[in-house]
Amino acid sequence: MDLYQTIQKRRSIRSYTGDPIPREDLEKIIDAGRLAPSGNNRQPWDFIVVTNRDMIQKLSIAAAWSAQASAMIAVVMDTTTKYWCEDGSAAVENILLAATALGYGTCWLEGNALPHENAIKAWLKIPADLKLLTLIPIGVPVEWPETRNKKPLDQVLHWETY
């Protein structure tokens, strides 16, 4: 699968078979996050990969369906850096695309996770001065949804001026 096909294929996947993910695939996926661009090359991130079922169950406080994930990635940012939000977002997208290329389903689980940030930080022993950007459940998808709800290209593409 080339990059454009991977971009086309990626979806937010919210149901998983529960099949395990080999450790080398998880390392490859995190490596894609590590290689993302960052402002001034600060790389202000850490990635926690959770495979322990009891902890995944706890983390599913963010969204019940995520309990079926085979792993959960917590993306942790140093918010004293100027571009932490952009940097973290670039890393997350790399992770989502790398996982898709390897055949796994993921979801950027931020809105539902952040109300539980303090509890999640305590469970994962994340230092108080760092921020949880998002959780990313990952698993073998039950299915790839066919439909997409995206604005058409001609609505968002402007040539030369707005």
Ligand X SMILES: Cc1cc2nc3c(=O)[nH]c(=O)nc-3n(C[C@H](O)[C@H](O)[C@H](O)COP(=O)(O)O)c2cc1C
Q: Judged by CB under 6 A, which of 95, 109, 120, 126 binds ligand X? A: 109
The three-state secondary structure class of 139 is strand
Q: Pick from 74, 75, 107, 138 the residue near ligand X by CB under 6 A.
A: 107
Is residue 118 within a helix (H) or strand (E), and if so which, with residue range? helix 117-123
Q: Does 8 bind ligand X (CB under 6 A)?
A: no
Let me know if 62 is exposed, middle or buried by CB neighbors in 10 A (0-12, 13-18, 19+): buried
Contact 136, 75 (CB under 8 A): yes
DSSP 8-state code for residue 82: T
Cβ 26 to ligand X, closest distance in Å?
Answer: 20
| Contact in structure between 95 and 73 (CB atoms under 8 Å) | yes
45 is a site residue for ligand X (CB under 6 A): no
**Total of residues contacting ligand X (CB under 6 A):** 9
For the bound state, the minimum distance from the C-beta of residue 24 to ligand X, rounded and expressed in Å, comes to 26
> Residues with Cβ < 8 Å from 125, sequence gap 6 or more?
none
Q: Does 16 bind ligand X (CB under 6 A)?
A: no
Q: Please pick, from the candidates 75, 104, 108, 126, the single residue that binds ligand X as defined by CB under 6 A.
A: 108
Question: Shortest gap between Cβ of 56 and ligand X (angstroms)?
Answer: 16
Among the listed ranges 19-27, 46-54, 103-111, 116-124, the one in contact with ligand X (CB under 6 A) is 103-111
Q: Which of 111, 115, 118, 119 binds ligand X (CB under 6 A)?
A: 111
Distance of alpha carbon 89 from alpha carbon 109, whole angstroms: 12
- 96 token code pair: 């989502």
Q: Is 36 in the site for ligand X (CB under 6 A)?
A: no
Which residue ranges make up the site for ligand X (CB under 6 A)?
Answer: 11-12, 63, 107-112
